[in-house]
């Protein structure tokens, strides 16, 4: 099964699936160190790079945080960086917000704001930490994530608290407080002296010392989110300024502002920026109904027919994208309401195939909408006075506007890039 997923597999190589790899590492881990290390040295790993739009959770994360990522990259004078995205944190906050009627969500972990996280990575501080019995796996130095992979006790990353706050704000949560653990405990009545003097609280004392020690590095933080609490929480760190959760855009130069715009548009294009394509489809239905009504052919049956025509032509549009080797991506959202809202904003998302020329990418985005525009013109010319043909023409015309307002407008960017590449 694993061999079938590898291009031109070597017949003398053993390919492992996730299940067989788990069994393999459990078995090898019990061998003597010399024998185990010899087998480990023969392991090879191959990374596969996919467009962000192919992974719905990553695409949703990028759409929410594109501006912060673009600003952090521009401020660091970089257009690329290796970043580990915790989509489970996004899901946790979204699910917590859904079940919480009112109150607070307190999150505590290692991490930084987006800007500080990028700054630390640029300066050589790892975001990924690996721990295990091997002395080289201490979680504090840059390491190869594939080295001694069977000896990992666990892997963890520094959290992006700005990204978590952004996800929470989409679900009705408001940031009440963000800062260091030590700042939160500054104004409590429990002092370090009391803890040290109470032998019965050695565990609490050790926990306090851990918080203090980690806080000296500025990495252990707390994010407090509120949802319709109706009252003001007690702020323990009154008078202590927060570390910035969002970067200051006023410090950017004009050139950096242009870089932010360019990087943000690139990220949104990769993630599938909100196109309002679903709204266009709904509008095309009303355009069909209006065309029928203007010809005195309005009736419950005609409304149902307009609905059926809307769905039929929309499915043809999607089919053309898939026929051009595109990939249909699943709708995002945990509930029907969230999936419906996502469809209205995004429509059915189709990912263009990788490794093709800009001209072919432009064709991928343009052909379905252009086909509908030509169909609308043909319908009008063949029978503009026939109600149902007029309705079909109106539906196709409105749906073809995705060329200018929907996801298919990305084709214009590839159309502009094509001549530039040929001239180069």
| Residue 1 reports pLDDT greater than 50 | no
CA-based end-to-end distance of the chain: 43
Global pTM value: 0.63
- Residue 423: its pLDDT value, please? 37
- Residue 393: its pLDDT value, please? 92
Choose the weakest-confidence range: 200-209, 257-266, 303-312, 339-348: 200-209
CA distance 392 to 291: 9
Encode pLDDT of 141-189 as tens digits. 555 677 666 666 677 888 999 999 999 998 889 998 888 776 665 655 6
Q: Report the share of the chain in percent with pLDDT over 90.
A: 11
Whether 402 contacts 350, CB under 8 Å:
no
- Residue 50: its pLDDT value, please? 72
Among residues 119, 185, 122, 129, which one has the least CA distance to residue 152? 129
What's the rounded mean pLDDT across residues 80-109?
A: 88
Q: For residues 352 and 65, which has the higher predicted lDDT (pLDDT)?
A: 65
- Burial state string for 160-176 with b = 16 or more CB within 10 A and e = fewer than 16: bbbbbbbbbeebebebb
**346: its two tokens:** 């995004």
Encode pLDDT of 266-297 as tens digits. 887 777 655 567 888 889 999 999 888 888 77
Encode pLDDT of 216-268 as tens digits. 445 688 898 998 766 665 555 555 566 788 888 888 888 888 888 888 878 87
Whether 73 contacts 263, CB under 8 Å:
yes
Half-sphere CA count of 370, side-chain side, radius 13 A: 10
Alpha helical stretches, state H, 171-253: 181-185, 192-197, 202-215
CA distance 12 to 315: 46
- Residue 4: its pLDDT value, please? 46
pLDDT bin (cut points 50, 70, 90) of residue 192 is: low
- Residue 334: its pLDDT value, please? 65
- Residue 255: its pLDDT value, please? 87
């Amino acid at each position: 099964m694993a061999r079938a997923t590898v291009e031109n597999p070597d017949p003398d190589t053993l390919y492992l699936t996730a299940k067989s790899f788990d069994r393999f590492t459990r078995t090898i881990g019990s061998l003597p160190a010399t024998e185990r290390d010899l087998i480990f040295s023969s392991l090879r790993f191959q990374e596969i790079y996919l467009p962000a739009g192919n992974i719905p959770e990553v695409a949703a994360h990028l759409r929410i945080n594109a501006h912060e990522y673009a600003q952090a990259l521009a401020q660091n004078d970089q257009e690329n960086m290796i970043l580990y995205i915790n989509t489970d944190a996004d899901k946790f906050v979204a699910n917590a917000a859904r079940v919480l009627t009112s109150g607070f969500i307190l999150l505590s972990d290692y991490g930084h704001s987006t800007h500080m996280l990028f700054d630390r990575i640029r300066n050589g501080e790892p975001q990924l930490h690996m721990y295990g019995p091997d002395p080289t796996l201490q979680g504090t130095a840059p390491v190869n994530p594939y080295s001694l992979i069977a000896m990992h006790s666990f892997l963890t990353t520094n959290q992006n608290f700005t990204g978590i706050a952004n996800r929470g704000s989409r679900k009705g949560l408001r940031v009440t407080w963000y800062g260091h653990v030590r700042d939160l405990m500054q104004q409590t009545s429990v002092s370090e002296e009391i803890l040290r003097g109470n032998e019965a609280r050695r565990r609490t004392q050790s926990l306090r010392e851990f918080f203090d020690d980690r806080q000296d590095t500025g990495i252990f933080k707390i994010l407090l989110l509120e949802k319709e609490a109706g009252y003001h929480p007690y702020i323990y760190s009154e008078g202590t300024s927060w570390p910035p959760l969002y970067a200051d855009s006023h410090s950017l130069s004009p050139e950096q502002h242009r870089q932010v715009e360019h990087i943000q548009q690139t990220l949104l294009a990769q993630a599938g920026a909100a196109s309002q394509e679903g709204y266009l489809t709904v509008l095309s239905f009303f355009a069909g109904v209006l065309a029928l009504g203007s010809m005195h052919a309005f009736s419950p049956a005609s409304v149902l027919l307009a609905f059926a025509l809307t769905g039929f032509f929309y499915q043809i549009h999607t089919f053309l994208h898939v026929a051009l080797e595109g990939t249909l991506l699943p709708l995002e959202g945990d509930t029907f309401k969230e999936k419906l809202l996502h469809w209205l904003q995004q429509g059915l998302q189709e990912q263009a195939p990788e490794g093709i020329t800009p001209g072919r990418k432009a064709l991928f985005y343009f052909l379905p909408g252009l086909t509908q525009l030509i169909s609308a013109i043909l319908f009008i010319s063949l029978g503009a006075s026939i109600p149902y043909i007029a309705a079909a023409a109106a539906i196709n015309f409105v749906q073809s506007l995705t060329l200018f307002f929907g996801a298919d407008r990305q084709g214009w960017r590839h159309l502009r890039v094509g001549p530039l590449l040929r001239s180069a």
